[in-house]
Amino acid sequence: MPQARRVGHATFETPDLEREIDHWVNVAGLVLAERDGKRAYLATKVGQLVVELHEGEQAHCTGLTFEVSPKTDFSQLAKDLAAEGVSSALSNDMAPGMPRSLVFDDPKGTRIQLFSEWGYLGDHHQVGGVGPMKLGHVAFVTPDVQGVTKFYETVLGFRVSDWIGDWFSFMRCGPDHHTVNFVKGEKTHLAHIAFEVKDMAQIATACDLLGAKNIPIEWGPVRHGPGHNVSVYHLDPDRNTIEFYIELDQMKDEELGYFEPRPWHRDLPQRPKVWSSDTSQIWGMKKQR
């Protein structure tokens, strides 16, 4: 079966492509690396593709890509997926710098692309806006948290890092505490998309930039419990929630099974566990429900 190593980029449909491009470039601080008619491809300042925008009827997140080993045999991978009841198709050149990918849908209808080759879309870009370093994780609301979590474990090789109760899972495919999150809700939709920034000074700069542009901060700054990242959240024009974060927990050795120790950990060592809702935030204002 495949073993996802990192998240590549997220694909969004938007009814107002120009407005979304403007936000991602001038607020989030990404680079419009390429554009093809009603599609736009945005990269970080180091040139990694992280957001793909399609003009469409409604605003929603339609797909995710994950990198797998460069030694991956896609023909065998398709057979392995078929054995799990997952139908897939090989596709060529679906995004700049990605010559081929294996495409299938996860149980909640998100299109998944697995890729083993990719290229930078330029490098050392000068950016406006916040200017994150990388796409870190993507979170979805779904009615079937348990089922989707199990799919990502068995089909994509993710590991569970933490739960909040039985309604919010955090899953990793590399050293980062989480690359995908799934939270229980009545209807499937994007919960948030998260980008790593350099340090607390850049978090403050992000808050100042949002304030200067009259964009409300929806939540934060806050230090979470699961993952222990310091985060701040805002909405883009399509009302997608965007998180900027720092200091996410790292699982440097899967066999040892604990996260790299940090002064703010209350458990030493910090291991995967089930958190209660009351302990899932270390400090910061509580999110308004």
In the prediction, which pLDDT does 1 show?
Answer: 73
pLDDT of residue 220: 93
Pair 104, 237 in one domain:
no
Q: What is the CATH number of the domain that holds 67?
A: 3.10.180.10
Within-domain flag for 123: no
Task: Give the model's pLDDT for residue 289.
Answer: 58
Q: Is residue 289 part of a domain?
A: no
Query: Which pLDDT does position 279 carry in this prediction?
Result: 83
For residue 267, tell me if it sits in a domain.
yes
* Residue-level pLDDT at 177: 98
170, part of any domain: yes
Per-residue model confidence (pLDDT) at position 117: 93
Residue-level pLDDT at 122? 87
Residue 179 shares a structural domain with residue 54: no
| Number of domains observed in the structure of the chain | 2
Residue 178 belongs to some domain of the structure: yes
| Co-location of 273 and 156 in the same domain | yes
Same domain, 83 and 201: no
Is residue 181, in this structure, part of any structural domain at all? Answer: yes
Rounded Cα distance between 161 and 181, Å, is 10
Residue 126 lies in a domain: no
Domain range for 31: 6-115
How many Cβ atoms from other residues are within 10 Å of residue 82's Cβ? 12
Q: Are residues 148 and 77 in the same domain?
A: no
Domain final position from 56, 81, 115: 115
- Rounded to two decimals, what is the model's pTM? 0.96
Which domain-ending residue is among 115, 148, 174?
Answer: 115
In a domain, 266, yes or no: yes
Residuewise pLDDT in 10s, the chain (289 residues)? 778 999 999 999 999 999 999 999 999 999 999 998 899 999 999 999 999 999 999 999 999 999 999 999 999 999 999 998 999 999 998 899 999 999 999 999 999 999 999 999 988 888 989 999 999 999 999 999 999 999 999 999 999 999 999 999 999 999 999 999 999 999 999 999 999 999 999 999 999 999 999 999 999 999 999 999 999 999 999 999 999 999 999 999 999 999 999 999 999 999 999 999 888 899 998 876 5
Instruction: Tell whether 88 and 168 lie within a shared domain.
Output: no
Same domain for 142 and 97: no
